[in-house]
């Protein structure tokens, strides 16, 4: 799988390249600035891009803007955005086109190589990987004003949280050490309580949950 990587700090870029190569990714390009990233995304047609939000020369949210622009040019282009901080505002902008293939994670998540690689693969396959912090922010906000969320059992809430992060039933089952069937049951309960349409497609399901959590803002 071919990856374009954009990260301006040498240490992190180097570490990420090594980690991705260790898991059999092919690094199509590892760049350190916004204009280089733009060129790499346009010319190299990678399977997935891993992008730092803040890039030179402007040191603003240049990486995010490049990613959004590339997705406008090529809808659904898988992009995993990394940052030292996560903001609901940015998550919403990434999810706005509803096309999936989007990830938004804290840089800390690279500590757990397997989880991180899993996230990259999920995004490359058109799935979603949202940082647990984003989901918690969304949940705590929605909980304050939404009755349906209050009706979820603690277990269902846990499942909802993992689902919103973009994980499949199998992954959630493994994480919570229960059977996949049990998770499927929780999932259908959650969708019934929130009044959402059940979908067999994992990606669609995640996007529906995220849209539900982020609505009305």
Binding site for other proteins (CB under 8 A): 53-54, 59-61, 83-85, 87-89, 107-108, 111, 137, 140-141, 144-145, 217
CA neighbor of 165 nearest in space, from 123, 122, 130, 137: 130
* Residue number, 137 or 189, with CB nearest to other proteins: 137
Phi, psi at residue 202, to the nearest 5°?
-55, -45
* Residue number, 48 or 91, with CB nearest to other proteins: 91
Q: How many residues does the chain have?
A: 217
Q: Which helix (H) or strand (E) holds 6?
A: strand 2-6
Nearest distance from C-beta of residue 27 to other proteins, angstroms: 25
* Residue number, 88 or 189, with CB nearest to other proteins: 88
Nearest distance from C-beta of residue 47 to other proteins, angstroms: 27
What tokens were used for 77?
A: 């282009």
Nearest distance from C-beta of residue 146 to other proteins, angstroms: 11
From residue 212, give the alpha-carbon distance in Å to each of 16, 20, 98, 146, 165: 33, 33, 12, 11, 13
Nearest distance from C-beta of residue 164 to other proteins, angstroms: 16
* Residue number, 108 or 201, with CB nearest to other proteins: 108
Q: List the beta bridge partners of residue 30.
A: 5
Nearest distance from C-beta of residue 108 to other proteins, angstroms: 5
* Residue number, 26 or 108, with CB nearest to other proteins: 108
Q: Are 29 and 69 spatial neighbours (Cβ–Cβ below 8 Å)? A: no
């Amino acid at each position: 799988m071919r990856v374009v990587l954009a990260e301006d700090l040498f240490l992190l870029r180097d570490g990420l390249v090594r980690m991705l190569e260790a898991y059999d990714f092919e690094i199509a390009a590892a760049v350190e600035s916004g204009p280089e990233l733009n060129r790499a995304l346009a010319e190299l047609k990678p399977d997935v891009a891993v992008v730092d939000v803040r890039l030179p020369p402007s040191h603003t949210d240049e990486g995010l803007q490049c990613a959004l622009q590339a997705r406008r040019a090529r809808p659904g282009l898988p992009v995993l955005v990394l940052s030292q901080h996560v903001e609901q505002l940015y998550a919403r902008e990434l999810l706005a086109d509803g096309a999936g293939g989007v990830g938004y994670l804290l840089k800390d998540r690279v500590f757990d190589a397997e989880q991180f690689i899993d996230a990259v693969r999920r995004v490359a396959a058109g799935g979603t990987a949202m940082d647990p912090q984003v989901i918690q922010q969304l949940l705590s906000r929605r909980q304050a004003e939404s009755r349906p969320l209050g009706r979820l059992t603690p277990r269902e809430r846990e499942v909802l949280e993992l689902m919103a992060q973009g994980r499949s039933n199998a992954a959630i089952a493994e994480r919570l050490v229960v059977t996949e069937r049990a998770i499927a049951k929780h999932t259908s309960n959650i969708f019934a309580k929130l009044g959402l349409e059940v979908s067999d497609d994992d990606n669609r399901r995640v996007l529906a949950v995220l849209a539900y959590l982020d609505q009305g803002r």
